Chain A
């Protein structure tokens, strides 16, 4: 494991249950400052939940989530909203405000958190929209956008305030190959230019491995592997190999836990 000296988010002993099901059991994750950290893993391993825990939208059952030394779960309502001004989050669905145009959506964080003159807001919004290739779509309403376009607008909104930490929830899903290439580059360039910390949750192994500095692979309520992309590629653990190579058979089950298939089918026959 590489020695990490400058940590912006330090997660220690994180345990989180949804009902009876443990999503995380005593998980430790360190996010280095100014780098791109990827959180990967099969569906249902709590990747999005992890982002919500970091953002304080969910509270863990135990453990600490320290953002620059401040324990997010212990913050009061006001302090929590203040610390969120330092975070940007790109939601899986885009989560644009449906009663505002594309332009107004991107301008929203600037209007509520700054007192910039309108001309400057306009320039900033157009710059952010230009970066995601949608400057021409500024007057459209969210209902007129495709899923991929909506997510790009949401990305422009998430970077509007140049936050310290940017969390991307499945940024590549639903993007055509051209937009995908542009987005991968954009995330990398943004990271280098502004020096903010990025956390990417994604299934897209090629794209994510190409830009991430550090990767955590989650499965079975814990971290099964971590390290640089090169370290993970060289990893011999069958779980990691199965995930990276996309193999259906292996230690990571494709099926949600269930009773034996054959006896389950027979149960219907017997009951009938």
Chain B
């Protein structure tokens, strides 16, 4: 019994210590932002790797989710004769929820795991240690550009996801199922509010970008430098990031829309 309590306490203390390490790591990465001239090429390269190379998966997923929303929305709403509201339904679900959440989940799987594995392997092959010995802070050189790239790219990817999703909804609703085009777009335009919906969706995407990228770079940097350690760190990135995104989504939704 005593042993069980001691083990629980130890596990709890380890968690708190890990969280503390992650917070210190984040502070050092943010404070240690590289000088703009050095930073720009590194940042651009990471934006390409993390953002541009994630575009395909985001566009394809956005298109399919928009199409599914259009189809499901139509089959439900047509029973009440309100199929013109499909546009409104598709746009609101995408902008408020699905775009930031699904983009963040896909981003964690596509870019987050890659960031963790890359930094973990750099640690295992002593590249981080060798940077330190050359007198270059790896937090400045390796972690900061990757963190900022993820933080900047996720909201943009989320916007692309929403745009493509709306187009997918229109493709199914208007082109295939024959909803009157005018009412499809007009309903959408009337119901989607810039501040309440678009901006809140953006805030979610920014928060998710911060959290997912933080988890990914920290897990890589803190990984045990062995093949097993890196594989575990990569798994942890996807699991922790997904759970954090879903949990935070509820909290943010409650804060943004809870008083309706």
Residues of A in contact with B (beta carbons under 8 Å apart) = 52, 55, 57, 77, 81-82, 84-85, 87-89, 91-93, 95-98, 108-109, 112-113, 154, 157
Q: Is the pair A88, B133 in contact by a Cβ cutoff of 8 Å?
A: yes
Sample 21 A-B pairs with CB under 8 A, ordered by A number: A52-B129, A57-B129, A77-B137, A81-B136, A84-B133, A84-B135, A85-B135, A88-B133, A89-B130, A91-B126, A91-B129, A92-B126, A95-B127, A95-B129, A95-B130, A98-B125, A109-B134, A109-B135, A112-B136, A113-B135, A157-B134
Q: Is the pair A81, B135 in contact by a Cβ cutoff of 8 Å?
A: yes
Q: Is the pair A57, B132 in contact by a Cβ cutoff of 8 Å?
A: yes
**Which of chain B's residues has its CB closest to A108's CB?**
B134
**Which of chain A's residues has its CB closest to B32's CB?**
A77
Q: Given A77-B137, A81-B137, A98-B125, A91–B130 Cβ distance below 8 Å? A: yes
Interface of B is mostly: helix
Residue in B28, B125, B132, B134 with the greatest tally of chain A CB atoms within 10 Å = B134
Q: Is the pair A93, B125 in contact by a Cβ cutoff of 8 Å?
A: yes
Q: Given A93-B125, A93-B126, A82–B135 Cβ distance below 8 Å? A: yes
Residues of A within 8 A of B135 (CB): 81-82, 84-85, 87, 109, 112-113
**Which of chain A's residues has its CB closest to B141's CB?**
A112
Residues of B in contact with A (beta carbons under 8 Å apart) = 28, 38, 125-127, 129-130, 132-137
Q: Is the pair A98, B132 in contact by a Cβ cutoff of 8 Å?
A: no
Return the contact of A55 from the options B125, B127, B133, B136 (Cβ within 8 A).
B133
Residues of B within 8 A of A96 (CB): 127, 130
CA distance A157 to B130 in the complex (A): 10
Q: Is the pair B126, A95 in contact by a Cβ cutoff of 8 Å?
A: yes
B131 → chain A closest CB, angstroms? 8
What are the nearest 7 A-B pairs in CB distance? Answer: A95-B130, A95-B126, A85-B135, A84-B135, A89-B133, A109-B134, A91-B126
A101 → chain B closest CB, angstroms? 15
A18 → chain B closest CB, angstroms? 15
Q: Is the pair A112, B134 in contact by a Cβ cutoff of 8 Å?
A: yes
B140 → chain A closest CB, angstroms? 9
Residues of B within 8 A of A98 (CB): 125, 127
CA distance A90 to B125 in the complex (A): 13
Residues of B within 8 A of A81 (CB): 132, 135-137
Residues of A within 8 A of B28 (CB): 77
B239 → chain A closest CB, angstroms? 27
**Which of chain B's residues has its CB closest to A89's CB?**
B133
A142 → chain B closest CB, angstroms? 9
CA distance A154 to B130 in the complex (A): 10
CA distance A88 to B132 in the complex (A): 10
CA distance A113 to B131 in the complex (A): 12
Residues of B within 8 A of A113 (CB): 134-135
A152 → chain B closest CB, angstroms? 15
Residues of B within 8 A of A154 (CB): 130
CA distance A108 to B133 in the complex (A): 12
B22 → chain A closest CB, angstroms? 17
CA distance A11 to B202 in the complex (A): 55
Residues of B within 8 A of A93 (CB): 125-126
Residues of B within 8 A of A97 (CB): 127, 130
